[in-house]
Structures are given as C-alpha cells and as structure tokens.
Amino acid sequence: MLRIEALGKTYRTGDRALDGISLTVAPGEVVGLIGPSGAGKSTLIRCINRLVEPSAGEILLGGEAITAVATRHLPAVRRRIGMIFQEYALVERLTVMENVLSGRLGYVPFWRSFLRRFPQRDIDAAFALLDRVGLAAHVDKRADALSGGQRQRVGIARALAQEPELLLVDEPTASLDPKTSQQIMQLICEICAERALPAIVNIHDVALAQRFVSRIVGLHGGRVVYDGTPDGLSTTVLERIYGVADWSALAQPDGERCDAAPAALLATGAGL
C-alpha cells in the first residue's frame, strides 16, 4: 500500500509545485491522476520515486517511510517501484526479451548484466510476462521493429519484471491511437487487479480515465481538488480541476470500467 501524507514541494525559485498532498492507494487500486499542465502531476510521481526531493511531508510504501531513506539506499527503494513511460524508454537495438530482462538489472551482479547472463528464474519469469502482455511471439524482435502499442506492452512487462510493490505510470497512451489506448489501459488495470498491485496513472485523457479506473484524483495548483469516482466528475468539478472551460461536450464513454471491460478488447492487442 502507498500512503502520502501532507506532501509538499517548493523549488528554489519559490514556485510551489505540491501543497499538502495526502493520498492512500490500496493494493490492486488504480488511481487516475488528472489535471492541467503545471498542476503537479509529474512532480508528484517524481517525488514518490525520489527523482525529486519533497520539501515537506512523508511517503510510505509498505509501511516504510521512503522519504527518510538515505541517498545511497535509493536504488533499493526504486527497485520496489515499477515505472511505465510515455515514450516507452526501451533500448531500441535490444530484443524484446533483453528489454524485459533489463528490469532485473537491480537484482543481479554487474558481470551477469554485462554479459546478459541472467538466472534461469528471471528468464522464465520474463517469458511468462511477455505471454501475459500478448508478446510471446515477438520475444526475439528488436524493439525498433515494434509498433507503439507493442513497445508499451514491453514497457509494462519490464516494469513487472522488477516485481514491484507499486506502479507509477506516466501518460501511457499519449502516443497511441484510441483503440490501442483502450487496450493498454485495460491491460494495466487487469494486471494490477491480478497482482494486488497499487498504481498511479498520470493521464490527460479524462474520458479514458473515466472508462477504466475506479478512482480519479484531480490536481490543480499543486493541491487535490477532487478525489472520488469517475461518475463524480461533473462539469463543475472539471472546471474546478482545469479552470474555466466548456465541458458540456465531454461525452461519457459507454461500456464498463477496468474490472469489467470486454475481454475481446485485448484479443488482437499483440499486433497493435
């Protein structure tokens, strides 16, 4: 479980990016983080994995205050947090399997990683993960030969290879077409439910968040201005999150959310 208590971040310029953020994310819960540019979404994610140092407050993962961990111990903390990136962050010249196994680099001696000689347990686990994300037939392909949807699936498998206690997902669908975006969101939600894995998804697409996550947190000016169900995102709430805007044309998508979206959505996902 992730617990954030009164988290604040003020930069040297005096700009306050986060102002008293308090959240709890339960095992298996996927939280959609929405808000305008500059609201503090990326800063919040970076504070959680200590890429940015908070100015105040506390972050606890599995009961351990990771904000109190010394810098020299940060690699061990970051092993516990899987990251999925908007631009995939794959090594293009490496194969799908090699990219997934890179999620184990923090667990193996340098000589093993340098020679790409990973333990058989890690290799077997990587095969299982690639099968789960629909890429079993693409194990030996180079990353630069994959489509955007396939690359994001590799990124998901790589993050899971870390055996993380938390997933942080930064705009996973921003570079994808609508159909593939739905498949990727569905996949993330299903995997989190299967593994009781808490996740925070930074996402700009409000309609997509409404369709697939059960809880949405809206940030504005570094503060939480909404924390509730997708159904609670009324026009008034959206204007509070994003400022003055015409949200009347925002269509509520049909269909069920994360736990009940049609399985057929994923049926052809490996080829996207």
pLDDT of 108 reads 61
| Apex 66 CA angle, 64 and 68, nearest 5 | 105
Q: Would you say the C-alpha torsion 73, 94, 46, 232 has a positive or negative sign?
A: negative
Domains observed in the chain: 1-80+200-272 (3.40.50.300)
Within 8 A by CB and 6+ apart from 187, the residues are 133, 134, 153, 156, 266, 269
Q: Would you say the C-alpha torsion 210, 215, 220, 221 has a positive or negative sign?
A: negative
- Average per-residue pLDDT for the chain: 86
- Alpha carbon distance 177, 196 (integer Å): 28
Residues 110-143 have pLDDT tens digits of 545 555 678 899 999 999 999 999 999 999 999 9
More confident residue, 249 or 75: 75
Confidence of residue 107 (pLDDT cuts 50, 70, 90): low
Percent of the chain with pLDDT over 70: 85
More confident residue, 76 or 10: 10
Residues 157-184 have pLDDT tens digits of 999 999 999 999 999 988 889 999 999 9
Confidence (pTM): 0.85
- Both structure tokens of 135: 């890429």
- The answer to whether the CB of 206 falls within 8 A of the CB of 245 is no
Confidence of residue 246 (pLDDT cuts 50, 70, 90): low
- Alpha carbon distance 87, 107 (integer Å): 25
- The answer to whether the CB of 171 falls within 8 A of the CB of 9 is no
Count of Cβ atoms closer than 10 Å to residue 87 Cβ: 13
Report the DSSP pairing between strands 2-10 and 16-25: antiparallel
Confidence of residue 260 (pLDDT cuts 50, 70, 90): very low
pLDDT of 86 reads 78
Q: Tell me which H or E stretch contains 21.
A: strand 16-25
- Both structure tokens of 37: 């540019």
pLDDT over 70 (residue 24): yes
pLDDT of 244 reads 62
Confidence of residue 91 (pLDDT cuts 50, 70, 90): confident
